[in-house]
Chains A and B, each alone.
Chain A
Amino acid sequence: MKKVLISMVALAALSTAGFATVNNQTGCGLGSQIIKDDSSAVMLALQATTNGTLGNQTFGVTSGTSGCRKANFVMNERAAEFVASNMDQLSREIAIGQGESVSTLAELLNVQDKAAFASALQANYNAIYTNEKADMATVLDNVSTIAG
Chain B
Amino acid sequence: MPFLLLICVLSLSIFAASTDELIAQAHSKKLSESRYWHLLMHTPVDESEIDDPSFFLSSTGKTDLSSELDATIKQVNEDQNRSDTSVFCRFPARRAWLEKELNTSFGEGECRGYEVLVAKMDPQKVTLVFPSAHINSPASMFGHTFLRIDSSMESKLMSYAINYAAHTEDTNGLLFAYKGLFGGYYGYYSMLPYYEKLKEYRDSESRDVWEYDLNLTHDEVMAMVRHIWELQHINSWYYFFDENCSYHMLWLTEIARPSVRLREHFFYYVIPPETVRAFEDEALVTEKHYRPSKRTKLLSYERHLSSQGLRAVKELTEGKINAATFKEVDLSAQERRFVLEAAAELVEYDFIEGKISKEVYALRYHALLSQRAALGEGENLPMGFKANPDTAHHSARVAVAQGWFEHRSPLLIGWRPAFHDLGEDDTGHLSGAQIEFLDTLVGIEHDNVRMEKLTLLSLASITPVSHFFKPFSWRMKSGWDRDYGEDQLSFVTRVGAGASIGNDQIFGYLLSEPEIRLGFNADIGLGFSAGAGISWSGRMKTLAEAGHIFYFDKRDQSRMNVSHLWQFNTSGALSMRYETIDQEYREERFTLGMNLYF
Contact assessment for A50 and B185 in the assembled complex, using a CB-CB cutoff below 8 Å: yes
Binds B, one of A67-75, A88-96, A140-148: A88-96
Contact assessment for A44 and B196 in the assembled complex, using a CB-CB cutoff below 8 Å: no
Binds A, one of B68-76, B187-195, B540-548, B585-593: B187-195
Instruction: List the A side residues contacting B263 at CB < 8 Å.
Output: none
Interface string of B233-271 (1 = CB under 8 A from A): 100001010001100000000000000000000000000
Quick one: which of A101-148 are within 8 Å of B by CB? Answer: 101, 103-104, 107-108, 119, 122-123, 125-126, 129, 131-134
User: Does A15 count as interface, using CB distance less than 8 angstroms?
Assistant: yes
Binds A, one of B28-36, B173-181, B519-527, B558-566: B173-181
User: Does B290 count as interface, using CB distance less than 8 angstroms?
Assistant: no
Interface string of B195-217 (1 = CB under 8 A from A): 11001100111000000000000
Instruction: List the B side residues contacting A35 at CB < 8 Å.
Output: 204, 351-352, 354
Contact assessment for A85 and B166 in the assembled complex, using a CB-CB cutoff below 8 Å: no
Quick one: which of B66-108 are within 8 Å of A by CB? Answer: none
Instruction: List the B side residues contacting A60 at CB < 8 Å.
Output: 190-193, 196
Binds A, one of B56-64, B360-368, B383-391: B360-368
Binds A, one of B153-161, B322-330, B407-415, B479-487: B153-161
Contact assessment for A49 and B359 in the assembled complex, using a CB-CB cutoff below 8 Å: no
Contact assessment for A47 and B240 in the assembled complex, using a CB-CB cutoff below 8 Å: no
Instruction: List the B side residues contacting A97 at CB < 8 Å.
Output: 373, 376-378
Contact assessment for B139 and A50 in the assembled complex, using a CB-CB cutoff below 8 Å: no
Q: Give the shortest distance, in Å, between A46 (CB) and chain B (any CB).
A: 4
Contact assessment for B158 and A82 in the assembled complex, using a CB-CB cutoff below 8 Å: yes
When chains A and B are docked, how far (Å) is the Cα of A47 from the Cα of B359?
31
When chains A and B are docked, how far (Å) is the Cα of A58 from the Cα of B142?
24
Contact assessment for B204 and A52 in the assembled complex, using a CB-CB cutoff below 8 Å: no
Contact assessment for A36 and B354 in the assembled complex, using a CB-CB cutoff below 8 Å: yes
Quick one: which of B148-175 are within 8 Å of A by CB? Answer: 153-155, 157-158, 163, 165-171, 173-174
User: Does A30 count as interface, using CB distance less than 8 angstroms?
Assistant: yes
Contact assessment for A50 and B190 in the assembled complex, using a CB-CB cutoff below 8 Å: no
Contact assessment for B376 and A45 in the assembled complex, using a CB-CB cutoff below 8 Å: no
Contact assessment for B369 and A49 in the assembled complex, using a CB-CB cutoff below 8 Å: no
Instruction: List the A side residues contacting B476 at CB < 8 Å.
Output: 45
User: Does B127 count as interface, using CB distance less than 8 angstroms?
Assistant: no
Q: Give the shortest distance, in Å, between B305 (CB) and chain A (any CB).
A: 16
Contact assessment for A46 and B192 in the assembled complex, using a CB-CB cutoff below 8 Å: no
Instruction: List the A side residues contacting B459 at CB < 8 Å.
Output: 45
Instruction: List the B side residues contacting A104 at CB < 8 Å.
Output: 153, 155, 157-158
Contact assessment for A38 and B354 in the assembled complex, using a CB-CB cutoff below 8 Å: yes
Instruction: List the A side residues contacting B173 at CB < 8 Å.
Output: 40, 42-43, 45-46
Q: Give the shortest distance, in Å, between B185 (CB) and chain A (any CB).
A: 6
Interface size class of B (residues with CB under 8 A): 35 or more
Contact assessment for B369 and A59 in the assembled complex, using a CB-CB cutoff below 8 Å: no
Q: Which of A30, A47, A85, A86 lies in contact with B137, CB distance below 8 A?
A: A47
When chains A and B are docked, how far (Å) is the Cα of A126 from the Cα of B367?
10
When chains A and B are docked, how far (Å) is the Cα of A104 from the Cα of B200?
19
User: Does B426 count as interface, using CB distance less than 8 angstroms?
Assistant: no
When chains A and B are docked, how far (Å) is the Cα of A140 from the Cα of B5?
61
Instruction: List the A side residues contacting B348 at CB < 8 Å.
Output: 33, 88, 92
Q: How many A-B residue pairs have CB under 8 A?
A: 225
A61 and B361 in contact (CB under 8 A), knowing A34-B203, A36-B352, A47-B134?
A: no
Contact assessment for B191 and A36 in the assembled complex, using a CB-CB cutoff below 8 Å: no
When chains A and B are docked, how far (Å) is the Cα of A46 from the Cα of B176?
8
Contact assessment for B171 and A3 in the assembled complex, using a CB-CB cutoff below 8 Å: yes
Contact assessment for A33 and B196 in the assembled complex, using a CB-CB cutoff below 8 Å: no
User: Does B397 count as interface, using CB distance less than 8 angstroms?
Assistant: no
User: Does B144 count as interface, using CB distance less than 8 angstroms?
Assistant: yes
When chains A and B are docked, how far (Å) is the Cα of A64 from the Cα of B160?
14
Instruction: List the A side residues contacting B136 at CB < 8 Å.
Output: 44
Instruction: List the A side residues contacting B378 at CB < 8 Å.
Output: 96-97
When chains A and B are docked, how far (Å) is the Cα of A42 from the Cα of B200?
21
Instruction: List the B side residues contacting A18 at CB < 8 Å.
Output: 357-359
Contact assessment for B189 and A58 in the assembled complex, using a CB-CB cutoff below 8 Å: yes
Instruction: List the B side residues contacting A43 at CB < 8 Å.
Output: 171, 173, 176
Contact assessment for A48 and B232 in the assembled complex, using a CB-CB cutoff below 8 Å: no
Contact assessment for B353 and A7 in the assembled complex, using a CB-CB cutoff below 8 Å: no
When chains A and B are docked, how far (Å) is the Cα of A52 from the Cα of B192?
15
Instruction: List the A side residues contacting B188 at CB < 8 Å.
Output: 58
When chains A and B are docked, how far (Å) is the Cα of A120 from the Cα of B245?
43
User: Does B124 count as interface, using CB distance less than 8 angstroms?
Assistant: no
A61 and B176 in contact (CB under 8 A), knowing A4-B204, A85-B195, A95-B372?
A: no
Q: Which of A3, A59, A95 lies in contact with B373, CB distance below 8 A?
A: A95
Interface string of B529-552 (1 = CB under 8 A from A): 000000000000000000000000
Contact assessment for B142 and A107 in the assembled complex, using a CB-CB cutoff below 8 Å: no
A50 and B359 in contact (CB under 8 A), knowing A44-B136, A95-B344?
A: no
When chains A and B are docked, how far (Å) is the Cα of A129 from the Cα of B174?
46
Q: Give the shortest distance, in Å, between B178 (CB) and chain A (any CB).
A: 9
Contact assessment for A129 and B366 in the assembled complex, using a CB-CB cutoff below 8 Å: yes
Contact assessment for B185 and A59 in the assembled complex, using a CB-CB cutoff below 8 Å: no
Contact assessment for B177 and A49 in the assembled complex, using a CB-CB cutoff below 8 Å: yes
Instruction: List the A side residues contacting B370 at CB < 8 Å.
Output: 95, 125-126, 129
The listed residue with most B CB atoms (<10 A of its CB), out of A18, A19, A38, A119, is: A18
Q: Which of B153, B232, B341, B377 lies in contact with A59, CB distance below 8 A?
A: B232
Instruction: List the A side residues contacting B167 at CB < 8 Å.
Output: 52-55
When chains A and B are docked, how far (Å) is the Cα of A7 from the Cα of B204?
11
Between A and B, 12 residue pairs with Cβ closer than 8 Å are A15-B358, A31-B358, A35-B204, A35-B351, A36-B205, A48-B240, A51-B165, A54-B169, A57-B190, A78-B158, A86-B157, A92-B345
* B interface residue numbers (CB < 8 A to A): 116-117, 120, 134, 136-142, 144, 153-155, 157-158, 163, 165-171, 173-174, 176-177, 179-181, 185, 188-193, 195-196, 199-200, 203-205, 232-233, 238, 240, 244-245, 337, 340-341, 344-345, 348, 351-354, 357-359, 361-363, 365-367, 369-370, 372-374, 376-378, 459, 474, 476
What are the nearest 8 A-B pairs in CB distance?
A: A49-B180, A125-B373, A42-B173, A132-B366, A50-B166, A48-B139, A50-B180, A95-B369
* A interface residue numbers (CB < 8 A to B): 1, 3-4, 6-7, 14-15, 17-19, 29-38, 40-55, 57-61, 64, 78, 82, 85-86, 88-89, 91-92, 94-98, 100-101, 103-104, 107-108, 119, 122-123, 125-126, 129, 131-134
